[in-house]
Structure formats: structure tokens, C-alpha cells
């Protein structure tokens, strides 16, 4: 029997997201390199592990979003966290004992299929916040990213150095699997369903179920303001994800920075992003339009990309300053996009709408690193960041006509 005193809370969903992203962050610093050294594949093949993960997210996140609109957020989150635990365990075993990298790809792709967390968690936040406080609630995801991407890579790098069966990496993934088990228990006992039965969407029996529902995606993007916001977000993530994958090369080639120094820079970026979304965005929410925060964030990132591109000619001070500015701009854009599109959708469409938004971000993460790597090799180490500056200006132009629903 339900306890009427228990209500959905932002704190509960924050813990769910934080544990999930902490586990995800544990694998970031070593997976491509371990794949290359263990299975003797090329660097490009190693980076394809990230692309295949994002491709599966692109295909499946909207499905889980639509399902959560029909059966509720909690069961979908529970499945996602449990499947992530299995995927991390499988990936650990593949790294330790497999004879072919295909097993690593299989485990990573299964993890991408399982990941309904962010789209469904965004819908949960939309369920329990007013339109005025939506960006403030969405900023919790950014705070969780900050925690996961500061603590995760640091601990992951340390754990990856401990060998299992003579191979590096499995222990970090075993810890990630353990975090997912803890998260699963928390979802079952600590998370209260946010979508009441009367607000759920009834399945259309005439619509054939598909892995990727182009009709649902088209329905979501038929709303012009949503399509424009999602397009701006796609361009943003395309170039930001490319920056993430080439930053280590840039630091080494342009500044002869050690892996530890690069890690320190990423910690600084993560702390800045978490502080922005936990402090600035939460204070601005309800006072400044989400569309305005999105545009300002894009312009700030354009400036930061230009600074990074110029930094080899100036010095490390400009590099560090530009990365902090980049984190500031990105901290403004992520919650504002989610808040903006969620306000355009009805309660029964939140999961599908935010699922499509998250799925398009995943598609951008499939192509962004490949594009950045291509221009890095063909046009020089500054080129991904110069191109990123142009991309952020383009995203700003796309977002220029956007106005919040309540705006005149």
C-alpha cells in the first residue's frame, strides 16, 4: 500500500542520475586505450566504442521515453539501471577474458540500449516542477554530470591501473556495476513514481511498435519551436563532443601536457560546470527566459572555442581560462534546452519529447568525434576548435527566434 506522505522529489532523482553518471564516468579515461592495447586494434577502432554506444542511445532512448509516458517513469528507470549493471559486468569480463574486441563492442552497445536514464529522468523532473522552475530542476542533471565527470574519471583512472588476468580496466567497470546495483535498490525503495495513472498516455493500437519511431519523432519535431531548439542542441553537442575527444591530443601536441595535467584540467571544467548549474542557473531560473540562457550559453562557448584555438600562440593561461569559460557556457545551455522543450509538451508527451531531444544529442555524439578527428588530422590541431566556434555561432543563429511560451 502506498504511503501518501511520500512524494516525488528532485533530491531522489538527483541521486539516481548522480550514481548513474558516476558509474559512466569511471570508464571514460581508459576504455579506448585499453581496447587498443589489449586487443591490438587501431585508435580509431577504440574510439568507435563511444560512437557505437551513442548510436544505440539514439535508436532506443525515444522508445524508453514513449514507454515511460505509458507505464510511468519508475519502472523504466529500474529496468535501465539494472540493465546497466549487467552491461558493466559484461564489459568488465570482456576486458579481462575475451579474445576478441567484438565482445567489448557487444557489451558497450547493450549499455547504450539500456540507457534510458537521462531522457526518462528529464521527464521525471518535468513531472514534478512547475514551468517557472523547470530550468532549475533540469540543472540538477548538469550538477550530476559535474559530479560524475569529476569523480568518475579520477577514480576510474586509478582503478584501471590494477590488472585483472593481466589486463587493465576491469576493476573500474566492476565498481561501476556495483554502483548500478546500489542505484537499482535506491530506485526500488527510494524513488516515488512521478507520473500518476490519470496523466499517462494511452497506447495507440493502430500504431505498429518500432525500435525507432520516425512518426513519433516527426510528431515531436512538428512543433516549430521544439524543432528549432533540438536543432540548436544537435549542433552544440556535435561540436562539443568533438572537442571532448580531441582535447587530449591538443593538450599533448600544443602544450606537451601530461595525462595528469589534462586530468586536472578536466576536473576544473567539471567543477565549473557543476557550480554553474547548481548555482547560477538555479538562481536565474524563473527570472531569465530559458531561450535567452540558451543563446547566451552558445555565444559564450563560441568565444571559448576561439580562445582554445588561439591558446598555443598565447600560452596555458588562455587555455585554462577558455576551458573555464567553455564550461560556463555549456552549463547554461544544457538545462535551458531541456526546460524549453519540456514546456512545449503536454504532461503525457514529456517522455517522448525529452526522449527525442536526448536521442538527437546521442546522434550528434556519434558523428561529432569522427568529424573532429578528421579535421584534426587533415587541417591541424587548432581546426576542431576553430570549427567549433563557427558551429556555436550557427547554433546561436538557429536559436535566435526562440521565445519562451509565456513571453509576449
DSSP state of 167: E
Other CB atoms within 10 A of residue 143 CB: 24
**What is the average pLDDT across 106-130?**
82
| Percentage of residues in the chain having pLDDT higher than 70 | 80
**Residue 18 or 109, more confident:** 109
Paired with 163 in beta bridges are 168
| Percentage of residues in the chain having pLDDT higher than 90 | 23
How many Cα atoms are found within 13 Å in the side-chain-facing hemisphere of 80?
28
* Strand pairing class (167-168; 163-164): antiparallel
167-203 pLDDT per residue, tens: 888 998 999 999 999 999 998 988 888 887 777 766 5
Other CB atoms within 10 A of residue 44 CB: 12
**Domain 10-194+218-399 belongs to what topology?**
Growth Hormone; Chain: A; (1.20.1250)
66-114 pLDDT per residue, tens: 788 888 888 988 988 999 999 999 999 999 999 999 999 999 999 888 8
Phi, psi of 288 (to 5 degrees): -120, 135
How far, in Å, are 306, 356, 357, 364, 402 from residue 231 at the CA level?
Answer: 22, 11, 9, 10, 12
211-261 pLDDT per residue, tens: 555 666 666 666 667 788 888 889 999 998 888 777 777 887 889 877 567
CA distance 85 to 95: 16
DSSP state of 209: P
CA distance 385 to 144: 26
Other CB atoms within 10 A of residue 408 CB: 3
CB 385 within 8 A of CB 305: yes
Residue 1 has pLDDT above 70, yes or no: no
pLDDT band at 285 (very low <50, low <70, confident <90, very high): low
Hey, is 64 helix, strand or coil? helix
Report for 144-158, 165-179, 212-226, 263-277: range of highest mean pLDDT: 165-179
Phi, psi of 239 (to 5 degrees): -85, -30
**Residue 384 or 156, more confident:** 384
CB 359 within 8 A of CB 128: no
DSSP state of 277: I
> What's residue 265's pLDDT?
79
Report for 159-168, 304-313, 350-359, 361-370: range of highest mean pLDDT: 304-313
How many Cα atoms are found within 13 Å in the side-chain-facing hemisphere of 11?
3
CA distance 405 to 408: 8
How far, in Å, are 197, 227, 359 from residue 347 at the CA level?
Answer: 11, 18, 19
> What's residue 206's pLDDT?
47
- Give the H/E segment covering residue 377: helix 350-379
**Residue 360 or 303, more confident:** 303
Residue 204 has pLDDT above 60, yes or no: no
The domain limits of the chain are 10-194+218-399
CA distance 156 to 151: 8
**Residue 130 or 351, more confident:** 130
Closest to 27 measured CA to CA, from 134, 138, 137, 179:
179
Cα-Cα end-to-end distance for the chain: 46
CA distance 327 to 338: 17
Cell of 266: 578536466
Angle between helices 10-27 and 134-160 in degrees, nearest 10? 30
Amino acid at each position: 500500500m502506498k504511503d501518501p506522505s511520500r512524494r516525488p522529489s528532485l533530491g531522489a532523482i538527483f541521486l539516481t542520475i548522480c550514481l548513474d553518471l558516476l558509474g559512466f564516468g569511471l570508464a571514460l579515461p581508459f576504455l579506448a586505450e585499453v581496447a587498443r592495447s589489449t586487443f591490438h586494434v587501431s585508435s580509431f577502432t577504440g574510439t568507435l566504442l563511444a560512437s557505437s554506444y551513442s548510436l544505440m542511445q539514439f535508436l532506443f532512448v525515444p522508445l524508453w521515453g514513449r514507454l515511460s509516458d505509458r507505464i510511468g517513469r519508475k519502472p523504466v528507470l529500474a529496468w535501465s539501471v539494472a540493465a546497466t549493471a549487467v552491461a558493466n559486468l559484461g564489459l568488465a569480463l570482456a576486458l579481462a577474458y575475451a579474445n576478441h574486441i567484438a565482445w567489448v563492442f557487444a557489451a558497450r552497445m547493450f549499455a547504450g540500449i539500456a540507457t534510458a536514464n537521462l531522457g526518462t529522468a528529464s521527464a521525471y523532473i518535468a513531472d514534478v516542477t512547475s514551468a517557472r522552475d523547470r530550468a532549475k530542476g533540469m540543472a540538477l542533471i548538469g550538477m550530476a554530470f559535474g559530479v560524475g565527470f569529476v569523480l568518475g574519471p579520477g577514480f576510474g583512472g586509478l582503478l584501471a591501473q590494477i590488472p585483472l588476468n593481466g589486463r587493465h580496466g576491469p576493476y573500474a567497470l566492476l565498481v561501476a556495476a556495483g554502483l548500478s546495483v546500489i542505484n537499482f535498490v535506491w530506485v526500488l525503495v527510494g524513488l516515488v513514481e512521478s507520473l500518476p495513472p490519470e496523466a499517462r498516455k494511452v497506447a495507440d493500437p493502430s500504431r505498429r511498435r518500432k525500435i525507432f519511431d520516425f512518426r513519433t519523432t516527426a510528431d515531436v519535431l512538428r512543433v516549430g519551436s521544439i524543432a528549432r531548439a533540438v536543432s540548436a542542441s544537435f549542433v552544440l553537442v556535435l561540436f562539443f563532443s568533438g572537442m571532448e575527444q580531441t582535447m587530449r591530443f591538443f593538450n599533448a601536441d600544443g602544450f606537451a601536457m601530461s595525462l595528469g595535467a589534462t586530468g586536472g584540467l578536466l576536473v576544473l571544467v567539471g567543477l565549473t560546470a557543476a557550480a554553474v548549474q547548481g548555482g547560477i542557473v538555479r538562481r536565474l531560473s524563473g527570472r531569465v527566459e530559458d531561450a535567452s540562457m540558451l543563446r547566451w550559453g552558445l555565444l559564450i562557448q563560441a568565444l571559448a572555442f576561439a580562445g582554445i584555438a588561439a591558446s598555443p600562440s598565447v600560452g596555458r593561461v588562455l587555455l585554462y581560462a577558455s576551458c573555464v569559460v567553455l564550461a560556463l557556457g555549456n552549463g547554461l545551455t544544457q538545462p535551458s534546452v531541456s526546460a524549453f522543450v519540456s514546456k512545449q509538451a503536454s504532461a503525457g508527451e514529456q517522455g517522448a519529447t525529452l526522449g527525442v531531444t536526448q536521442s538527437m544529442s546521442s546522434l550528434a555524439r556519434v558523428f561529432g568525434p569522427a568529424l573532429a578527428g578528421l579535421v584534426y588530422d587533415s587541417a591541424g590541431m587548432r581546426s576542431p576548435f576553430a570549427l567549433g566556434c563557427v558551429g556555436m555561432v550557427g547554433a546561436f543563429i538557429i536559436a535566435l527566434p526562440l521565445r519562451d511560451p509565456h513571453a509576449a
